[in-house]
Structure 1
């Protein structure tokens, strides 16, 4: 007798306010054959708040055991089980465990569906006051300072709005790095504790936000940064030309090459960029 494969359900969980939980989440928690949770203790608090008792087996599925547990869950799915995957907050696989399981399920032609839920990315975008018609999510930046700067330089000319997650322990360093690479006047918003009691959205230039964060910022944090101005959209001032040359030099380009590249980006003569760099050096 051939057994039809089951279904993998990715369920979004509240990012703060438990009242934001979608009704389908309670239904899936109650009816799934297996519930794979990033933190089983947090899952217990969630089910208690929703007044739900899972009928299925509850297992842990987090970064430390994701590789080993994925094959086990795939076998459950191939055996016809309905497997529900939840993380601590937001949608599984978005800077959370889940990608490996989804990829493995797709490879086996197992149906994958989702219970949409609150999203820190979209919530922060909507509250930021920055353009939201085009954006890209960059997740968490590297912890090491050099790697962090390199990652930021990769998107220094990105015109779409940028969204990052960041730790409360590194937000001050990250904003300083962003101000250095993107410019202190680049607009941004630091969104913390979204949907929670002490929700706060701080908007301003990156330099201003870096100074504010130096005093300490607590909570779950999402940073939204304005994209780079479109090429040719008005002449850049000398300070911005010099900053762009410096960013390229720090990335390993020779000054001559950096000046030529910035001139093309800004749509100005190379001589104008060269003169700006020389003047800055004299100062």
Structure 2
């Protein structure tokens, strides 16, 4: 047989990135799957956040519809306090500012948010502040790939 590879231009193949279907087929066919270490913006942002790295959950994209989104944000904040679990999620870059605004409006002011933007790029920015501090801070993450992490 032929060796086949799944490569991602950014991130880690099959982790919040396409590739899981190809790996599932290989597993079903009992073909050897050899994961190779590569950069993962999710793990890199967790490493730099100062948040709990023993218990965390990646939630992917949150709902777009305002009511559902706020409900989901409140659920995630509840998990932070009930379970001590870091909540990690992403957003389409042009909605980053809306995400920060929704978090500031929906969560407790002392809940902390880390925004990890442009990870591994020259303009990388990884910043952890309370939501009360984010409310008073100037930032520009429009059109910038970012990871959001929520913790107590």
Shorter-chain TM-score range? 0.7 to 0.9
TM-score, length-scaled by structure 2: 0.83
- The TM-score normalised by the length of structure 1 is 0.47
Larger Rg: 1
Deviations 1:92-137 (A, max 9, x none): 1222111222222222222212111111111111111223222111
CA 1:177 to 1:138, structure 2 compared with 1: closer, same or farther past 3 Å?
Answer: same
Shift of residue 221, structure 1, vs aligned partner? 0.6
1:216 counterpart (137, 140, 149): 140
Q: Which has the higher contact order (CA 8 A, sep 6+)?
A: 2
SS in 1 for 2:5: strand
Q: SS of the residue aligned with 1:153?
A: helix
The answer to whether 1:95 aligns with 2:11 is no
CA contact (8 A) 1:176 1:206 kept: no
CA deviations on 1:229-255 (whole Å, 9 max, x unpaired) are xxxxxxxxxxxxxxxxxxxxxxxxxxx
* Structure in which a larger fraction of residues adopt helix: 1
1:120 is matched with which residue? 41
Contact 1:163 1:224 in 2 (8 A): yes
Determine if contact 1:184/1:205 at 8 Å carries over to the other structure: yes
Indicate yes or no: 2:99 matched with 1:174.
yes
1:85 aligns with 2:6: yes
| Native 8 Å contact 2:77 2:151 kept in 1 | no
Aligned-residue Cα RMSD (Å) equals 2.0
Q: Distance in 2 between matches of 1:210 and 1:99?
A: 38
Shift of 1:210: 4.7
Q: In the TM superposition, what are the counterparts of 1:139-154 in structure 2 within 5 Å?
A: 139-154=60-75
What does residue 114 of structure 2 align with?
Answer: 189
Please state how far the C-alpha of 1:153 moved relative to its aligned partner. 3.2
Is the contact made by 2:57 and 2:88 (CA closer than 8 Å) also made in structure 1?
A: yes
